[in-house]
Structures are given as C-alpha cells and as structure tokens.
C-alpha cells in the first residue's frame, strides 16, 4: 500500500518531519511518500494561505494518480482543498483535522484543540461545525506561536504547547487533546506524557484511517458531487489543466 502524504506548504523540513512521523506509525508493507508542492506559501496561517496552497496540493494528487497512490493525506489542519482532492481520485483522501476529530471522539466524549495561532483556531472552529464535531469540542486554544517556530525554535514551541495543553486539561473538563497543526506530528508522545491525557494528532490518525479504508476496499465515491471534474478549458497559468481526459 502506498500513501501519499502531502504537506500543502513548501517548507521541506516540515515535510520531512511529517513523513517521518507517518512512517513510524505505518503498518509493515505501507509505503509513505511525503511530498510538498513546488510553489505556494511556506506556512499556512490564513484563509488566503489555504486558497493558494490548495492548487499545489491538488497538483500533488494528480502526480500521485500517475504514480499509483492508494490513498492521500492532506497534512494541514485546515484541510485545504479536501473535497476538490476527492474529486480527482477514487482513492481515499483524508484531511488531518477530520481524522483527528474522529479519533479523539472515539476515546473521549469531550476534547479540546490546541493549535498554533488564534486566527487558525477560528478556522478549526469552522471545521468542527462542518464535520459535525462541535458538541465534542469544549474549546479551541492557541499557543500563539507561528507555524514555522515548530521547525525553527522547536524546544520553545513545545514548551508553549505543553503549557496550553495543561491549561486545557485543568480548565476544560476534557478527556483528550487534539493537536491542531501538521507540524506537531512528531510531538504526540512527549505532550501526552507531560499532560497525562491521550493526544490525537491528525497525520498519524490519517495514516491508520487510510490503511483501514484501503484494507476494507473503500474508496471515494464517484456518484454525485465527488464525481471526476468535467473536462473544460482553462486559461492563463492553469491552461495545462484544460480538457483533462474524462474518467468514469
């Protein structure tokens, strides 16, 4: 089984971190291919960043289709372009926020999210509503650290995240914590040990969900709104997408 894990930002060191975390949790026989777009933002911290990053992420899905990927993971907690990616393939496509919410809800009736910045916390709140997990989440908390601090100042960032997780444990009446950034993929064990609660993290959760879906023979439905896009003309910088061959 080959799972293509796409980091939608263009910071190669974060892609390496994400890929290593995914590989450690993957089952024997699962190949993790961690990729990042050729162009886009170095970090994703706004709706604008998400919109720009989605194009490069979708091109990575197209590349995976040519290479025969069995599943895809969108390794950004905003799940940018998730439904568009599902249109492009029959393979399962998992967003890490959706994956983490599912896993946390299976082990606790209430969880809190600890993310990087307050403004991205608002994006997480939108996803809770969209995915139907609002009643499970007590609070969305921000450690108020830029995403790239996870790579550039890792120890200080980890300290801030643990402090916020402890506040969540003590104040929110929760049984689990969800980490709200793909760049936190390698921190689960340390945070869980420090806080004393189970910690759900989206990259690793998405790997196990992808393996389960592929093992069950379940792929993305091509009936309805997730059918392959209709071939049409594109102009300008997107002309190379014109008249993609129809698929059934």
Instruction: Report yes or no on 12 lying in a domain.
Output: yes
State residue 244's pLDDT score. 79
Q: Do 141 and 231 belong to one domain?
A: no
State residue 224's pLDDT score. 95
State which residues form the domain around 133.
97-202
DSSP state of 227: S
Q: Do 28 and 54 belong to one domain?
A: yes
State residue 52's pLDDT score. 97
pLDDT single digits (tens) 126-135: 999 999 999 9
Instruction: Report yes or no on 6 lying in a domain.
Output: yes
Instruction: Report yes or no on 102 lying in a domain.
Output: yes
- Please enumerate, as own/partner, the contacts of 198-202 that have beta carbons within 8 Å and a separation of 24 or more: 198/104, 198/107, 198/108, 199/165, 200/100, 200/103, 200/104, 200/107, 200/111, 200/176, 201/21, 201/96, 201/100, 202/75, 202/77, 202/95, 202/96, 202/97, 202/98, 202/99, 202/100, 202/178
> Which of 189, 191, 178, 161 is CA-nearest to residue 25?
189
Residue 246 has pLDDT above 90, yes or no: no
Q: Do 150 and 108 belong to one domain?
A: yes
Q: Do 108 and 182 belong to one domain?
A: yes
Q: Do 42 and 26 belong to one domain?
A: yes
pLDDT single digits (tens) 63-96: 999 999 999 999 999 999 999 999 999 999 999 9
Q: Do 136 and 219 belong to one domain?
A: no
Residue 25 has pLDDT above 90, yes or no: yes
Instruction: Report yes or no on 9 lying in a domain.
Output: yes
Share of residues in the chain with pLDDT > 70 (%): 99
Question: And the tokens for 96?
Answer: 């890490």
Question: And the tokens for 138?
Answer: 């007590």
Instruction: Report yes or no on 223 lying in a domain.
Output: yes
Q: Do 103 and 190 belong to one domain?
A: yes
Instruction: Report yes or no on 219 lying in a domain.
Output: yes
Judge contact between 34 and 19, C-beta under 8 A.
yes
Q: Do 90 and 119 belong to one domain?
A: no
Judge contact between 244 and 61, C-beta under 8 A.
no
Q: Do 109 and 128 belong to one domain?
A: yes
Q: How far apart are CA 69 and CA 1, in angstroms?
A: 8
Residue 198 has pLDDT above 80, yes or no: yes
Instruction: Report yes or no on 13 lying in a domain.
Output: yes
Instruction: Report yes or no on 247 lying in a domain.
Output: no
CATH number at 144 reads: 3.40.50.12500
DSSP state of 244: P
State residue 107's pLDDT score. 97
Q: Evaluate if pTM is beyond 0.85.
A: yes
Q: How many domains does the chain have?
A: 2
Q: Do 158 and 211 belong to one domain?
A: no
pLDDT single digits (tens) 203-219: 999 999 999 999 999 99
State residue 207's pLDDT score. 98
pLDDT single digits (tens) 107-157: 999 999 999 999 999 999 999 999 999 999 999 999 999 898 888 878 899
Q: Do 18 and 35 belong to one domain?
A: yes
């Amino acid at each position: 089984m080959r799972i293509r894990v796409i980091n939608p930002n263009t910071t190669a060191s974060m892609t390496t971190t994400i890929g290593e975390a995914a590989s450690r949790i993957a089952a024997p026989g699962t190949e993790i291919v961690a990729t990042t777009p050729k162009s886009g933002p170095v970090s994703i911290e706004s709706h604008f960043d998400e919109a720009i990053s989605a194009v490069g992420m979708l091109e990575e899905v197209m590349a995976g289709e040519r290479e025969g990927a069995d599943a895809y993971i969108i390794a950004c907690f905003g799940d940018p372009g998730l439904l568009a990616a599902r249109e492009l393939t029959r393979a399962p496509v998992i967003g890490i926020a959706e994956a983490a919410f599912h896993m946390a809800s299976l082990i606790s009736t209430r969880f809190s999210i600890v993310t990087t910045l307050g403004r991205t916390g608002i994006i997480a709140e939108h996803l809770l509503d969209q995915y139907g997990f609002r009643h499970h989440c007590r609070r969305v908390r921000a450690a108020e650290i830029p995403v790239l601090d996870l790579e550039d100042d890792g120890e200080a960032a980890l300290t801030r995240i643990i402090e916020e997780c402890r506040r969540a444990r003590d104040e929110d009446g929760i049984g689990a914590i969800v980490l709200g950034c793909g760049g936190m993929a390698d921190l689960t064990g340390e945070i869980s040990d420090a806080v004393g609660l189970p910690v759900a993290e989206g990259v690793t959760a998405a790997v196990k969900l992808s393996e389960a879906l592929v093992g069950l023979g379940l792929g993305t439905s091509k009936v309805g709104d997730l059918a392959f896009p209709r071939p049409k003309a594109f102009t300008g910088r997107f002309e190379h997408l014109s008249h993609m061959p129809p698929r059934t």
